[in-house]
Amino acid sequence: AASTGACALLTGDIILIAGDSQTYVLTADATETAAATDVTLSISPPLKVATAGSEAVTVKASHRVNLAFHRDAFAFATRPLMGSLADLQLGSRILSMQDPVSGIVLRLEIMREFKQTVWDFDILWGSKLVRAELACRLAG
């Protein structure tokens, strides 16, 4: 497609392809260095309509985005953290507790510093999108 000049498309940009009512999201950055240069775009979801390669591509202007998702779309995990023997020898008190409802594990370390008691909470956690088909962006 003919271009009006150099441009940089960023991951997450929403584009419209002429002749297709579906909006697409860029899954990787793409840079066009000069006008009338072909650019390969990585998009999601896959194309719904066959293209000839000369369709106009429009980047959606700034917009507000909300998320809607089922609770099974994302995974969240926590693991217990252990205290080292060196911490215990310095007089720190360390204990881990798991919330019985959510399963989240927190480690509490109580120590004395500068004539004050310090309460330090730690958590080891991770999250990931595991079922993308159960989540969507609502743009307005």
Higher pLDDT, 134 or 140: 134
| Segment of 3-12, 14-23, 30-39, 120-129 carrying the highest mean pLDDT | 120-129
Answer left, alpha or beta for residue 102, where phi above 0 means left and psi between -120 and 50 means alpha. Answer: alpha
Instruction: Kindly state whether residue 46 falls inside one of the protein's structural domains.
Output: yes
Distance CA 27, CA 13 (A): 8
Does some domain include residue 37? yes
Same domain, 79 and 101: yes
Could you tell me the pLDDT band of residue 2, with boundaries at 50, 70 and 90?
Answer: very low
Structural domain contains residue 138: no
Q: Please write down the long-range contacts of 41-48, taking CB distance under 8 Å and 24 or more positions apart.
A: 41/9, 41/15, 43/15, 44/132, 47/17, 47/20, 48/20, 48/22
Rounded distance, CA 45 to CA 26, Å?
9
Task: Tell me the average pLDDT across 106-127.
Answer: 88
Distance CA 37, CA 22 (A): 24
Note whether 85 and 52 are same-domain residues.
no
Whether 56 is in a domain gets the answer yes
How much is the pTM?
0.52
- pLDDT score, position 73: 95
Provide φ and ψ at 67, rounded to 5°.
-115, 145
Predicted confidence at residue 74, as pLDDT, reads 95
Total number of domains constituting the chain? 2
Instruction: Let me know if 33 is exposed, middle or buried by CB neighbors in 10 A (0-12, 13-18, 19+).
Output: exposed
Q: Where in the sequence is the domain holding 31, given as residue range(s)?
A: 7-62
Q: DSSP label at 41?
A: -
Residue 57, domain member (yes or no)? yes
At 45-104, the pLDDT tens digits run 888 888 887 788 888 887 788 899 999 999 998 888 776 665 556 677 888 888 899 888
Residue 128 belongs to some domain of the structure: yes
Residue with tokens 């310095």: 90
Task: Confirm whether 1 is domain-assigned.
Answer: no
